[in-house]
């Protein structure tokens, strides 16, 4: 077992699409509360229907290469409850920050999300990337929201 670990440093984020039939007032940002503090991801918004496995979350990780983000071989797709309850990295971070399954209708503020890197592989194939989140209805693949987080992957 290696003693080194990976640090995930979020840099920029944005919601690029939100379907007003399903979500409203979405905000995604990254904050640092002091010069030496960790970087935190904050997600706020209203969902207009209960989220269970009726929502699919597709996460694609793009590599920053030659001044642009290019698709990589890293990515995965989960239904919402499976992501929250079974996936240790992204789902684990969301669950640790208070997201639950099922997610009831209403305003949700998920603050101070950090990447749980204790189980993260100590070697990652690239140093800078962008995580694209594409959220759709499981039954019809109708888009619900699209967002991204740009991050650095750094050896500790």
Task: Please write the tens of the pLDDT for every residue from 38-74.
Answer: 899 999 999 999 999 999 999 999 999 999 999 998 8
Checking if the pLDDT of 2 tops 60, the result is no
Write down the pLDDT at residue 115: 73
Q: Identify whether the C-beta of residue 56 lies closer than 8 Å to the C-beta of residue 138.
A: yes
| pLDDT band for position 156 (cuts 50, 70, 90) | confident
State the chain's mean pLDDT as an integer: 91
Separation between Cα atoms, residue 28 and residue 13, nearest integer Å:
6
Structure tokens at 149: 């987080």
Question: Average pLDDT, stretch 12-24?
Answer: 97
Q: Which residues contact 14 (CB under 8 A, 6 or more apart)?
A: 28, 147, 148
- Enter the pTM of the model: 0.90
User: In the structure encoding, which two tokens stand for residue 53, read together?
Assistant: 């496995």
Residue 117's SS3 state is: helix
Helix runs in 16-153, H state only: 80-86, 90-96
Instruction: Domain ranges for the chain, please list them.
Output: 6-155
What class, spelled out in words, does domain 6-155 have in CATH?
mainly beta
| Residues 137-146: tens digit of each pLDDT | 999 999 999 9
* Structure-model confidence comparison of residues 156 and 85, the more confident one: 85
pLDDT tier for residue 119 given thresholds of 50, 70 and 90: low
- pLDDT, average across residues 79-98: 92
Task: For residue 115, give both structure tokens.
Answer: 């990447």
Closest to 140 (Cα-Cα) out of 16, 19, 2, 3: 19
Rounded Cα–Cα distance for residues 115 and 117 (Å) = 6
């Amino acid at each position: 077992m290696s003693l080194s670990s990976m640090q995930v440093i979020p840099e920029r984020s944005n919601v690029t699409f939100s379907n007003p039939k399903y979500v409203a007032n979405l905000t995604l940002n990254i904050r640092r509360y002091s010069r030496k503090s960790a970087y935190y991801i904050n997600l706020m918004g209203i969902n207009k229907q209960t989220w269970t496995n009726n929502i699919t979350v597709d996460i694609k990780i793009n590599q920053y290469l030659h001044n642009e983000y290019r698709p990589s071989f890293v990515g995965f797709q989960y239904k919402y409850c499976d992501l929250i309850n079974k996936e240790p990295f992204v789902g684990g971070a969301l669950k640790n920050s208070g997201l639950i399954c099922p997610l009831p209708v209403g305003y949700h503020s998920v603050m101070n999300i950090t990447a749980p890197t204790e189980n993260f592989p100590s070697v990652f194939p690239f140093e800078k990337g962008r995580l694209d989140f594409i959220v759709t209805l499981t039954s019809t693949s109708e888009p619900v929201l699209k967002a991204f987080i740009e991050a650095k992957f750094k050896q500790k």
